[in-house]
Chains A and B, each alone.
Chain A
């Protein structure tokens, strides 16, 4: 159930809960900047979860988070430290 931490680049990023994913591919197909891909790895249930392959292109728009039927991914914007 570990939330995978992504590299710090771009405007935002995504958090992926790989164990909850059922590999439907909605997030990969409909990402506006096409920065996600289905991983080669399997999760415990035998599905391929998504990975953020182009972190510099992610805008943190949360389209993947809205489309995900399994609540396994969400996007967020980086905030500047005060």
Chain B
């Protein structure tokens, strides 16, 4: 061992993730035990291995804890108004179709305030990647109930527990027309990295939901321990079911978490359908829109 170790190069490599991040802004604002930083790590690794030209990748975020991601990534980034990340991203894509547009936002931002935009962006099949970090609650504003809060979970606005039916986000995305739908948790880092990479390569509205622990508001108020306990829960209670029917993957309070890649299909995108339709309608008079 000692003779062999003489041949070993001891120069330490640098962290490959750091070139995708604005390290001058670190440490970030996320709480100890929060899973959002882990998902950013996965995203940076996915970008690194995807081989995309970083000058043609832009990231759009809304408001909230996850909305801060746009500020920490060293890409062209938009930090938009609350819930309007998808309209900004749609405009960005239509103005410059060469861009790879990534929307990185939270569950409250994308499915509550921006819920209408979400269903229409998926319906039109605008070519973009949506990464939704689901922490079951409005984290930044003080732990109010969100459309993803499971029945029975306590939030600051539901002190006796939530009684509203939560969204089943993979089902919502698939039924609205998303071409790629996957769900992973912050524990499944390698799977999530691969899912983000696949979603970045996919043409059309690709949707990746990642469940992340919120130790300060969700876990503490529901007496579920800290972020590490939530990660252990994801490890012990997740079941990988690729190609599962999205109707069956709804989440319940501390129940089984079904993860996997649920949908992967091909459909013409918004610009493809527009160009094909007008070319058929107007023939040679129409020149296809290229930005």
Binding site for B on A (CB under 8 A): 3, 5, 8-9, 13, 15, 20, 22-26, 29-30, 47, 63, 65-71, 74, 76, 78-81
CB pair B8 A79 closer than 8 Å: yes
A5 to B12, CA, bound (A): 9
A32: min CB distance to chain B, Å? 11
Given contact pairs A20-B26, A66-B42, A30 touches B9 in the complex (Cβ within 8 A): no
> Which residues of A lie under 8 Å from residue B41 when comparing CB positions?
65-69, 71
Contacts of A15 in B (CB 8 A): 12, 15
Say yes or no: A70-B37 contact (C-beta < 8 A), given A15-B15, A24-B227. Answer: yes
13 A-B pairs within 8 Å (CB atoms) are namely A3-B12, A8-B8, A8-B10, A20-B27, A24-B32, A24-B226, A26-B38, A65-B17, A66-B193, A70-B27, A70-B37, A71-B23, A71-B37
Instruction: For residue B106, give the distance in angstroms from its CB to the closest CB of chain A.
Output: 15
Number of A-B residue pairs at CB separation under 8 A: 87
A23 to B32, CA, bound (A): 7
Are A76 and B10 neighbours in the complex by a CB distance under 8 Å?
A: no
Picked from B17, B23, B42, B190, the residue with its CB within 8 Å of the CB of A74 is B17
Chain B residues in contact with chain A, CB under 8 A?
5, 7-10, 12-13, 15-18, 21, 23, 26-28, 30-38, 40-42, 45, 187, 189-190, 193, 226-228, 231-232, 235
CA distance A15 to B187 in the complex (A): 21
- Chain A residue at smallest Cβ distance from B5: A8
Give CA–CA (A6, B15) in the complex, Å.
15
Q: Which residues from chain B contact A30 at a C-beta distance below 8 Å?
A: 187, 231, 235
Complex contacts, A20 vs chain B, CB 8 Å: 26-27
**Most-contacted residue by chain B among A5, A25, A66 (CB, 10 A):** A66
Interchain CA distance A81-B27 in the complex, whole Å: 35
Report whether B228 and A71 are in contact in the complex, using a CB–CB cutoff of 8 Å.
no
- Given A20-B26, A24-B32: A71 touches B15 (CB 8 Å cut-off): yes
**CA separation between A40 and B41, bound complex, in Å?**
27
Contact B38 A68 (CB under 8 A): yes
Among A22, A47, A65, which residue has its beta carbon within 8 angstroms of that of B15? A65
Q: For residue B36, which residues in chain A have a CB less than 8 angstroms away from its CB?
A: 69
- Tell me how far the C-beta of A43 lies from the nearest C-beta in chain B, rounded to whole angstroms: 11
